[in-house]
Amino acid sequence: MRTLPPDDPTLTLFSILREDGTADPQQDAFLPRETLLAMYAQMLRIRRIDERMLGKQRQGKVGFYGTITGQEATPVATGLSLSPEDWVFPALREAAVMLVRGFPLSTWLAQVYGNEADILKGRQMPSHQSGRAVNQVAWSSCIGPQIPQAVGAAMAAKARGDRSVSVGFMGDGATSQPDFHAAMTMAGIHRPPVVLICQNNHWSISVPTEKQTASATLAVKAHAYGLRGVRVDGNDVLAVHHVVKEAVDRARDGGGPTFIESLTYRMGPHSSSDDPTRYRSQEEVETWAKRDPIARLERYLRTAEILDDATLEGLEAGIRAELDAALAEVEELGPPARATVFEDVFAALPPHLQRQQAQFLAMPPAQLAHH
Ligand SMILES: Cc1ncc(C[n+]2csc(CCOP(=O)(O)OP(=O)(O)O)c2C)c(N)n1
């Protein structure tokens, strides 16, 4: 058996931001001020959207919501590393990559309400956004299928000879699924332009990562499949950006796939249906709260005199105004039109469905409520 050196990048944890608010000068990419501020603003924006939407779920205005609190760094760093032609195959915590890539917030929120502005016509579970405009497919409620889909899309790009890269996400729990094995195997053999990113947030609902695998890390699994592997501090947005951008650029230039483990922590519940106090300690949550990716970047930006109280207030006000306006727009809307129930399956409706459609459209609203 080959023994890996202890400094193998699948066993260490790549980071740039240090506890004291400075950046490691050996690793710092010295990104422009605007990029750093954009990273901060996007993470803060997602945090505020999640807080507001979990509140809406608690008020009974939406049926379900999945927050990503504590995990904002990876979707933001990824969104900022991609080109418009690239594809995203998300898992549970990456729907916000769409927002970072410019998808309109009100349309994104309409999916949570399943209303007439929802491009999925109310047919998906809330928080399963997708958008052709930004090449992002919806996440599947089944854990794992998006991983081979990302590899397949990248194989297609390679066969067509275009320059797009596919990014496939997963949680730590998904690494125990057969789809993970299939995807990693195909990525190793065919070497398509794909980047597979595992957000290891320590929990798969109530199953801790140490019950998920006996491997030293998740990143180390890359070696067994013949892939490049990197383990990065997922609460350090500068480090994630560095690692993801390098992997995306490499894949685009024909350098093959990378498997990235981004080590982070889900600070909130698994979803609006979960009570995490049933399976994890408050002490653990508090330890990770100290490593909050937003607070961490904020310390750095303040030390570097890029952010001050006035800039922060301006950002908060801008986010609040954007969210208020988007929610006001979305909450006005009604359900998808009745006729849409029959759309998108048949090019021409067969006669028996035409009859059902006519009956359905003729029903008065009171009668509909019982169906
Ligand atoms: C095939 C399958 N098995 C079980 C479930 C139930 N389930 C939903 S989310 C989840 C945990 C996912 O954990 P992980 O992949 O670590 O992602 P995280 O939620 O931590 O982001 C499970 C088991 C499912 N949706 N699909």
The distance of Cα 173 from the centroid of its chain, to the nearest Å, equals 15
Q: Work out the pLDDT band at 368, boundaries 50, 70, 90.
A: low
The pLDDT score that the predictor gives to residue 223 is 98
Nearest atom in ligand 1 to the alpha carbon of residue 177 is 1
Q: How far is the CA of 206 from the centre of ligand 1 (A)?
A: 10
pLDDT value at 364 more than 90:
no
Which residues are catalytic, by number?
A: 266, 270, 279
pLDDT at residue 19, rounded to an integer: 83
Q: How is residue 61 annotated by DSSP?
A: S
pLDDT, tens digit, for every residue of 110-138?
999 999 999 999 999 999 999 999 999 99
- pLDDT tens across 16-53, in order? 999 888 999 999 989 999 999 999 999 999 999 999 99
State the sign of the Cα–Cα–Cα–Cα dihedral 317, 318, 323, 328: positive
Residue 215 pLDDT > 90: yes
Report the percent of the chain where pLDDT is more than 90. 93
Going by C-alpha positions, the residue among 37, 27, 26, 14 that lies closest to residue 304 is 37
Residue 371 has pLDDT above 80, yes or no: no
Q: What pLDDT does residue 79 have? A: 98
pLDDT at 370: 52
pLDDT at 281: 96
Atom of ligand 1 at shortest range from CA of 203: 20
The reported pLDDT for the residue numbered 140 is: 85
Q: Which structure tokens are listed for 105?
A: 């917030």
User: What is the CA(139)–ligand 1 centre distance, in A?
Assistant: 12
For residue 350, is pLDDT > 90? yes
**Ligand 1 pocket check for 173: Cβ under 6 Å:** yes
CA distances from 120 to 261, 282, 325, 333 (A): 31, 38, 22, 15
Neighbours of 249 (CB within 10 A): 14
Write the DSSP assignment of 218-235 as a string of letters.
Answer: STTHHHHTT-EEEEEETT
Residue type for 322, please? E
- Give 240: exposed, middle or buried? Use CB within 10 Å, 0-12, 13-18, 19+: buried
Residue 198 CA to ligand 1 center (angstroms) comes to 13
Q: Is the pLDDT of residue 313 over 60?
A: yes
Each residue's pLDDT tens digit, 290-311:
999 999 999 999 999 999 999 9
Q: Which residue has the tokens 């195997």?
A: 185
Percent over 70 (pLDDT), the chain: 98
Q: Indicate if the pLDDT at residue 319 is higher than 80.
A: yes
User: Using N-to-C axis directions, what is the helix angle for 178-190 and 146-160, rounded to 10°?
Assistant: 20
Q: Is the pLDDT confidence value at 331 over 60?
A: yes
Domain(s) labelled CATH 3.40.50.970 in the chain stretch across: 33-336
Q: pLDDT, tens digit, for every residue of 245-288?
A: 999 999 999 999 999 999 999 999 999 999 999 999 999 999 99
**Long-range contacts, 282-288 (Cβ 8 Å, 24+):** 288/70
Residue whose CA lies nearest to ligand 1 atom number 21: 171
**Is 204 near ligand 1, meaning CB less than 6 Å away?**
yes
Domain 33-336 has CATH 3.10.150.10: no
Mean predicted lDDT score pLDDT of the chain: 96
Whole-angstrom distance, CA of residue 232 vs CA of residue 217? 11
For residues 77-89, average pLDDT: 98
